């Protein structure tokens, strides 16, 4: 009983019953203890469209334009859509809904939200580490985009054959190793020809340094007022890329050879379905394009109203994201098909992915069009909008995580502004390494390992932790509690999502993880002809390992804070803190059974016999 446990001095703060779960039979006298400081009010989205556009802008990024079309043609054309949508329905959607639901129900960022299961707080720390690495290199892409955007105002374009300095290169057709766009990219922009490798970064390229500074200033100004400012910016940045893609598709459809490019993009090759690489590419593209496991989704959902329909939003955003990837393929390959026709070569020789597509192949194709300056400005404006939106989500994940842990930053605008300024400036200083002559080698290293096995492990533990530690049935009930008037179709979909969280999603994540480890062991990392040394690859592995090791480190910390046997400590560390359900607006109006919950306190309460003597004396004196 409560009395016997107290007299034995073993009652911990985690065993105290929360007042919320007790029946209020009579009013209690006010406590003389000082009340805890009130938490500053949390911002909310100005409307549901701001949240939807922010999530769509976050998910629809550069990978939709420069990676999906390339993967599609490389992995069997239209056949690739089969594994792609299978991975969407069994991995992408369930994990996306899990992150949105966690953030919205707990009204907290990626670290604080794990008061639902303190043992797994390391998942939030790991998400924060991944997000920092992504922000570090992602804004370098925006800096490149700024550089190309500024160069696009020159006529003729500096990477076209019409430019005076490129005429000798274009006339010499017998011994050409690089096109003018490749020379501009490697020599003028990157300066990679002046570096020997990872060990030789060389000097900072100051034109790029100014572009990177401008990129961080834009991010700072757009995020100065949190979601109240970024929520308004997304009305432009999330919709403008769709306008540009539509214009590029219409223009591409009028060009000679465009149908060859589209046919190359979609022609099915059914033999590819038996290749494990195709399924891994489909899973990784779904996983990375939705931005799962970085904390951005969780943070943005934490600013939602409690009764927002997260299932509806999940369907709209995930299907819209994948539709955009498919849609972008027509804009890319119609114009690449025209370039292949002009050069008299197969489309496969001009197709590329990643920065090679965005900054070499596609600008070269645009340079062949009448009015090339206009098309180039439009294209790089689109890349800028795509990059900024994604960076908003990642930065929001970092800021929300820190401000939830230090609420005083949120209540003081001056402190919040100073924190954001210092954060952006720190990222700028660290990013200078990536814009040296050898910066592209460091960029490729961080890009390859920041969202590799570490991110998959973090997401796998999130799925397992919610399903088996927190409880998949309780999690589904939480979703139903949020959607006050849950339509029948939502309830039916929850059975499907429950099956995914428990069985299908962990299995597919394990498959992806296994394949990544096999490929990482068998293949070497390289950029162009440069093969990374062993120490460089080991450094990348350490980056990924550091992110996922946070799960183990913080689990040990959580268990060590508890009292009792190891089994008791483990059981206490997976029980939610009582502050987990404070955002549930239905708990005060619905008569429902609530399990005894834990007090959110780090110390153990040991009551002695003297405490009970004192309580009896106070009761007698009051009588």
Total residue length of the chain: 623
Q: How far is CA 388 from the centre of its chain?
A: 13
- Tell whether residue 386 is among the known ligand binding residues: yes
Query: Which run of H or E residues covers position 285?
Result: helix 276-289
Rg over CA atoms, the chain: 27
State yes or no: 57 annotated in a binding site.
yes
Q: What is d(CA 173, CA 248) in angstroms, rounded to the nearest whole number?
A: 30
Plot region of 525 (φ>0 → left; ψ -120 to 50 → alpha; else → beta): beta
C-alpha to C-alpha distance for 144 and 528, rounded to whole angstroms: 19
Q: Is 389 annotated as a binding residue?
A: yes
Among 188, 212, 209, 89, CA closest to 140: 212
| 115, 371 contact by CB (below 8 A) | no
Neighbours of 603 (CB within 10 A): 9
- Determine the 3-state secondary structure of 278 from DSSP: helix
Q: Which residue has the tokens 């990978």?
A: 63
Residue 376 near residue 152, CB atoms below 8 Å: yes
Contact 278, 83 (CB under 8 A): yes
- 446/477 Cα distance (integer angstroms): 39
Contact 138, 428 (CB under 8 A): no
**Is residue 383 part of an annotated ligand binding site?**
no
289 annotated binding-site participant: yes
Three-class secondary structure of residue 598 per DSSP: strand
In this structure, what token pair is assigned to residue 461?
A: 């533990």
Counting Cα atoms < 13 Å in the Cβ hemisphere of 318 gives 29
Annotated binding site for Na(+): 57, 60, 64, 289, 321, 386, 389
Annotated binding site: 57, 60, 64, 289, 321, 386, 389
């Amino acid at each position: 009983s409560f009395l016997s446990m107290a007299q034995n001095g073993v009652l911990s703060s985690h065993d105290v019953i929360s007042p919320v779960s007790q029946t209020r039979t009579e009013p209690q006298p006010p406590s003389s203890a000082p009340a805890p400081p009130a938490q500053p009010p949390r911002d909310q989205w100005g409307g549901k469209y701001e949240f939807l556009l922010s999530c769509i802008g976050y998910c629809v990024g550069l990978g939709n334009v420069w990676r999906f079309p390339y993967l599609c043609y490389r992995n069997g054309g239209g056949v690739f859509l089969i594994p792609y949508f299978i991975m969407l329905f069994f991995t992408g959607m369930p994990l996306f809904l899990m992150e949105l639901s966690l953030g919205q129900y707990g009204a907290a960022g990626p670290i604080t939200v794990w008061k639902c299961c303190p043992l797994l707080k390391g998942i939030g720390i790991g998400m924060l580490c991944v997000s920092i690495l992504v922000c570090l290199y992602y804004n370098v892409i925006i800096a490149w985009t700024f550089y190309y955007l500024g160069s696009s105002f020159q006529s003729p374009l500096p990477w076209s054959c019409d430019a005076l300095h490129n005429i000798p290169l274009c006339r010499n057709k017998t011994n050409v190793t690089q096109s003018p766009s490749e020379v501009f990219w490697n020599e003028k922009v990157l300066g990679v020809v002046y570096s020997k490798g990872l060990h030789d970064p060389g000097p900072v390229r100051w034109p790029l340094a100014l572009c990177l500074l401008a990129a961080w200033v834009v991010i700072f100004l757009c995020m100065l007022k949190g979601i109240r400012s970024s929520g308004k910016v997304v009305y432009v940045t999330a919709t403008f890329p769709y306008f540009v893609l539509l214009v590029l598709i219409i223009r591409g459809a009028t060009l000679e050879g465009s149908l060859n490019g589209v046919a190359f993009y979609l022609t099915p090759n059914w033999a590819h379905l038996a290749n494990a690489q195709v399924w891994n590419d489909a899973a990784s593209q779904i996983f990375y394009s939705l931005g799962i496991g970085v904390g951005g989704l969780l943070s943005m959902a934490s600013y939602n109203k409690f009764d927002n329909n997260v299932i509806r939003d999940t369907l709209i955003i995930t299907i819209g994201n994948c539709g955009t990837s498919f849609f972008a393929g027509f804009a890319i390959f119609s114009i690449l098909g025209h370039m292949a026709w002009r050069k008299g070569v197969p489309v496969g020789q001009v197709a590329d992915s990643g920065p090679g597509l965005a900054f070499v192949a596609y600008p070269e194709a645009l340079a062949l069009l009448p009015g090339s300056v206009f098309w180039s400005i439009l294209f790089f404006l689109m890349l800028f909008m795509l990059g900024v939106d994604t960076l908003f989500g990642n930065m929001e994940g970092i800021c929300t995580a820190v401000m939830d842990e230090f609420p005083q930053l949120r209540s003081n605008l001056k402190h919040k502004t100073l924190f954001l300024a210092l954060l952006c400036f720190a990222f700028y200083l660290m990013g200078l390494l990536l814009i040296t002559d050898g910066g592209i080698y460091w960029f490729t290293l961080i890009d390859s390992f920041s969202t590799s096995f570490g991110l998959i492990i973090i997401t796998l533990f999130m799925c397992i932790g919610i399903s088996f530690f927190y409880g998949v049935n309780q999690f589904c009930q939480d979703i139903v509690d949020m959607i006050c008037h849950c339509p029948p179709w939502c309830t039916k979909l929850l059975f499907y999502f429950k099956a995914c969280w428990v069985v299908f999603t962990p299995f597919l994540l394990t498959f992806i993880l296994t394949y990544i480890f096999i490929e990482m062991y068998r293949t070497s990392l390289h950029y162009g002809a440069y093969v990374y040394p062993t120490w460089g690859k080991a450094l990348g592995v350490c980056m990924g390992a550091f992110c996922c090791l946070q799960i183990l480190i913080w689990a040990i910390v959580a268990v060590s804070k508890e009292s009792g046997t190891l089994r008791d400590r483990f059981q206490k560390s997976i029980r939610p803190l009582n502050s987990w359900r404070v955002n549930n607006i239905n708990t005060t109006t619905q008569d429902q059974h609530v399990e005894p919950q834990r007090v959110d306190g780090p110390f153990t309460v040991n009551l002695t016999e003297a405490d009970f003597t004192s309580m009896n004396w106070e009761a007698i004196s009051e009588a």
